[in-house]
Amino acid sequence: MDSSFHQHRWIAPKQRAVLFVLHGIFEHGGRYEHFASYLNAAGISVLSFDYRGHGRSPGEMGYIESWSSLVNDINDWVQWQKTEFDNLPQFIFGHSLGGLLLVDYLSLYRPSFNGVILSSAALKVKEDLSPLLQKIAPIMAKIAPKLKTIKLDPGLISRDPAEVEKYRNDRLIYHGRISAQTGNETLQASKTIEQCFPGFDWPVLVLHGSDDGLTEPEGSRVFYEQIASDDKTLKLYEEYRHELLNELGREVVLEDIRDWMTRRI
């Protein structure tokens, strides 16, 4: 893996396990420091990296040219890190776009993990996304890939005003409009990911907020119902928005994740 990709490492003093973290669209791994600190106290080390075009990594900010390149980057990074922690139970976590990438990556490369955690994963196209927009997305991506389209509403990430303000003021987050290419790459991945569900057989914890306005909670329900895993848990948090780790009542989510992992160490 290219060493210019920015990495984040939070190593627990007395390691019992390690968690790989895949962040969401336009954000960066540094936003998971509080999550890592919480898990470090339970003996779980946490690793993350910024995707190309995200955070401090190289590439045009907020631009996803190729979905397959992102998936390959994840595989390169995971394989690079796995050998260092091969004596520990290994888990992997994906939030939002990171959850979509994670399911795709697992399906393609079939790596070994003790458990998988999906947080607000983008596993289904939003119900309110215009059919016309879905139809013209590939055309616009081809003729004008960098055309700016819609913009994400930061108010949808959390009911906590302080967290929304922190998001707005984070200079390492891309706050611009979504390019036609970025939108189409993520849209096509969301539309085809369901074909990976029946072959998914890792132990998995699926988390989603009922009031998520950015990704579809129904996608998590369908995923849970269709996967082959014998060890699977679905938790839907009433009134929670998109960023479960930054929501009011986040303590419940943190405890659920820690306890689920601890039982599988």
pLDDT (tens digit, 9 = 90+) per residue, 11-50?
A: 999 999 999 999 999 999 999 999 999 999 999 999 999 9
Q: Is residue 108 part of a domain?
A: yes
Q: Is residue 50 part of a domain?
A: yes
Predicted confidence at residue 157, as pLDDT, reads 98
The CATH number of the domain holding residue 223 is: 3.40.50.1820
Q: Is residue 198 part of a domain?
A: yes
Q: Is residue 2 part of a domain?
A: no
What is the tally of structural domains in the chain?
1
Q: Is residue 112 part of a domain?
A: yes
Predicted confidence at residue 42, as pLDDT, reads 98
Whether 170 is a known active-site residue: answer no
Query: How would you write the chain as a 3-class SS string?
Result: CCCCCCEEEECCCCCCEEEEEECCCCCCHHHHHHHHHHHHCCCEEEEEECCCCCCCCCCCCCCCCCHHHHHHHHHHHHHHHHHHHCCCCEEEEEECHHHHHHHHHHHHHCCCCCEEEEECCCCCCCCCCCHHHHHHHHHHHHHCCCCECCCCCHHHCCCCHHHHHHHHHCCCCCCCCCEHHHHHHHHHHHHHHHHHHHHCCCCEEEEEECCCCCCCHHHHHHHHHHCCCCCEEEEEECCCCCCHHHCCCHHHHHHHHHHHHHCCC
Q: Is residue 113 part of a domain?
A: yes
Q: Is residue 212 part of a domain?
A: yes
Whether 95 is a known active-site residue: answer no
Question: What is the extent of the structural domain holding 45?
Answer: 7-263
Q: Is residue 231 part of a domain?
A: yes
Predicted confidence at residue 140, as pLDDT, reads 83
Q: Pick out the chain residues at pLDDT < 50.
A: none
Whether 8 is a known active-site residue: answer no
Predicted confidence at residue 25, as pLDDT, reads 98
The active-site residue out of 45, 57, 96, 220 is 96
